[in-house]
Amino acid sequence: MNKNNNQRNVRLALLLGLFSTMGPFTIDMYLPAFPEIVEHFGSTASFVQFSLTACLLGLGLGQLVMGSLSDVHGRRIPLLISMAVYVVSSLACAFSPNIWMLIAFRFIQGFAASAGIVISRAIARDLYSGSELTKFFSLLLLVSNLGPLAAPVAGSGVLSFTTWVGVFIALALLGTYLLIMTKWRLRETLPTDRRSPSNFAHQLRSYGTLLRDRQFLGYMLAQGIMIAGVFAYVSGTPFIYQNIYGVSPTVFALLFGSNGISLIIGSQLVGRMSHRISEHAFLLFGLWLALIASAAVLVVAFVQGPLFTLVIPLFLFVGAIGITSTAAFPLAMESQAKNAGSAAALLGVIPFVLGAVVAPLVGIAGENTAVPLGVIILLASTTALLAYFLLIRSNHYSPSEAHSGR
């Protein structure tokens, strides 16, 4: 029976993980094409980075809407509609006549992709709790974290035989596949008697209740601010690696994608050791690791060190995200069974909204310096650590609670 359960868990994690990869694929797959898009539209690096900002805003705000809708209407219907919109918006991006239309369609594309992220996490909470949720979430992240590893490599592969337009056509094909999977493979996990009332005021009260919960707020900010730092890395490294260090799009894709390995290592470390080491301990360790790694990045940026001295601390910084995300999510979701969609939405919206703010700031000093990237990720690490101590650590935990991660 355990073997059958494990097989079902793996199949479900694979399916939900595919939906979670919509975020990294939508964000990362076109990164190697940034310089080409600048040239195609006769634009600037900051304008192209603003298309990333628009996508991040869509991903963030969309999660608030899709999380609430999935609490009211169930998980499948919002996901079906969103996948259809994703396909259309991806094709619209591919044939945008100017940079402004690309920016607008990227917002819509991100909004639609948000459903895959937030609803897949809500489904996990529908089915699991406690340490089982932590283990399943780490398995889910094992699949979804392949996205940052595969997306830029896939984008570079597409660019090897076509233009940036082909990247968005490929994303439309991905959306089509997930639309079919939603229709034929995904069962409803939220029974009618557990759904929220179709009432806007009720949804606002749900969000208000969550935001007044100091523990939930602390986990949300600690996780969200850290992931926002990653978006600074996502926005800045295409220009830093290719313009400053002169690497090719293929080498960039390999360097960028290698950090998917660090995400996987971090998330799996928490998932496999959660029965021996508390999620709280992992969360604090990840926050300190991010602080140290980001400080090293800033030092390397100031002295303009060689490429490997930048790649190593960035690898550790992204690995710290894998640790903090895997530890913080189940801790935040544990007491939110009745508002799983709304809670997952809030946990998802903060990283994307903050990421949308910081993404264009990385290029504010031009395309030939990595200093803004170092400053931003160091500020993110410091702020996330402060959120932990002020909102989480300040509240009392008994030794048994701390050990169990509850």
pTM of the entire structure?
0.69
- pLDDT 10s digits, 10-43: 777 788 888 888 888 998 888 888 888 988 898 8
The pLDDT score that the predictor gives to residue 5 is 61
Q: Answer whether residue 405 shows pLDDT above 50.
A: no
Task: Write the single-letter amino acid at 268.
Answer: Q
Residue 248 to residue 108: CA distance in whole angstroms: 30
Residue 28 included in any domain: yes
Structure tokens given for 99: 């940079």
Q: What are the CA-CA distances from residue 63 to residues 187, 267, 330, 344 (Å)?
A: 20, 22, 18, 8
Task: DSSP letter for 188, please.
Answer: P
- pLDDT 10s digits, 229-280: 887 887 788 778 888 888 887 888 788 777 778 888 888 888 778 778 888 8
Residue 67 to residue 341: CA distance in whole angstroms: 4
Lowest-confidence region among 86-95, 223-232, 365-374:
365-374
Q: What's the domain count of the chain?
A: 1
Distant-in-sequence, close-in-space partners of 115: CB < 8 Å, separation ≥ 6: 19, 62, 66, 70, 78, 79, 82, 83
- pLDDT band of residue 290 (cuts 50, 70, 90) is very high
Residue 41 included in any domain: yes
- pLDDT 10s digits, 319-332: 998 899 888 888 88
Beta strands in 8-80 (DSSP E): none
Lowest-confidence region among 65-69, 304-308, 359-363:
359-363
Structure tokens given for 327: 């530890």
Residue 192 included in any domain: no
Phi and psi at residue 213, to the nearest 5°: -80, 105
Q: Would you say 91 and 168 are in contact if contact means Cβ atoms under 8 Å apart? A: yes
Using CB atoms within 10 A of its CB, is residue 254 exposed (0-12), middle (13-18) or buried (19+)? middle
The pLDDT score that the predictor gives to residue 406 is 40
Structure tokens given for 370: 């990595």
Residue 190 included in any domain: no
Q: Would you say 93 and 311 are in contact if contact means Cβ atoms under 8 Å apart? A: no
Residue 194 included in any domain: no
Residue 3 included in any domain: no
Residue 387: enclosing H or E segment and its boundaries?
helix 371-387
52: domain CATH number? 1.20.1250.20
Phi and psi at residue 261, to the nearest 5°: -65, -45
DSSP string, 136-165: HHHHHHHHHTHHHHHHHHHHHHHHTTS-HH
Residue 237's domain comprises 11-185+199-404
Residue 317 included in any domain: yes
The pLDDT score that the predictor gives to residue 366 is 58
Longest alpha-carbon distance in the chain: 60
Residue 38 included in any domain: yes
Residue with tokens 């080409």: 36
- pLDDT 10s digits, 114-157: 999 889 888 888 888 777 777 777 777 777 767 766 787 788 88
Nearest alpha-carbon partner for 89 in 59, 122, 63: 59
Task: Write the single-letter amino acid at 306.
Answer: P
